[in-house]
Amino acid sequence: MAGKKPWHTIATTRLWRSRWYNLRQDNVRIHTGAEVTYTFQEHPGAVFIVPVTVERRIALLRQYRYPVDEWLWEIPAGAVDGAESLEAAARRELAEEIGGTAKEMRYVDHFFAASSVSNLRIHVFLATGVQLRPDGSHREATELIETSEFGILETLTMARAGQIKDGQSALALLLCEPLLRDAL
């Protein structure tokens, strides 16, 4: 039963568009033969970068997130710009968010953020040999961000203990765990 493409798209409309994602509504022929309406967020994909500095520490952001009204620990991340490669997006976000440049940028894995309501694919990168230039980031004026560095094992413990409340950042860190332990 678990074959591909059991549902077929009949028609697509966009209910709402933004710089970050569209709200897309499809008419779909499902496996029973019935036609249903399915609405989901159409997203270009995002990169999440685990940044290991030349001192073998992990740089985390603490960011105010208005929708949840909390300050959260996160890793550098952002949406892919349609024209760029995933690695270029990861290097761009690393520079923009923490003013970092990486010696090596390694693709680790991907996961889906919320597959029932979004096609958002999260691409996880491990950046090593990261050099941070103080005030080298290019943040938007509306962003409230602080940067801190932690030991590799300390960061993994934070992720496993639920102290990194941004779920995508926490999972990205845990997916890098074997590579991070090799880097110790």
Q: Does 166 bind its own copies (CB under 8 A)?
A: yes
Q: How many whole angstroms separate alpha carbon 19 and alpha carbon 22?
A: 8
What is the torsional sign of CA 72, 89, 121, 53? negative
Question: Residue with structure tokens 């950042």?
Answer: 169
Candidates 12, 115, 131, 157; binder of its own copies (CB under 8 A) is 115
Candidates 50, 122, 132, 180; binder of its own copies (CB under 8 A) is 122
Q: How many whole angstroms separate alpha carbon 174 and alpha carbon 161?
A: 11
Q: Does 94 bind its own copies (CB under 8 A)?
A: no
Q: Does 34 bind its own copies (CB under 8 A)?
A: yes
Q: What are phi and psi of 84, to 5 degrees?
A: -100, 160
Candidates 10, 117, 153, 183; binder of its own copies (CB under 8 A) is 117
HSE (side-chain half, CA atoms, 13 Å) at 117: 1
Q: What are phi and psi of 34, to 5 degrees?
A: -75, 160
Of 56 and 110, nearer to its own copies (C-beta) is 110
List residues binding its own copies (CB under 8 A): 1-2, 4-7, 15-16, 18, 20-21, 23, 26, 28, 30-32, 34, 36, 38-41, 62, 64-72, 108-122, 141-142, 144, 146, 160, 162, 164-168, 170-171, 174-175, 177-178
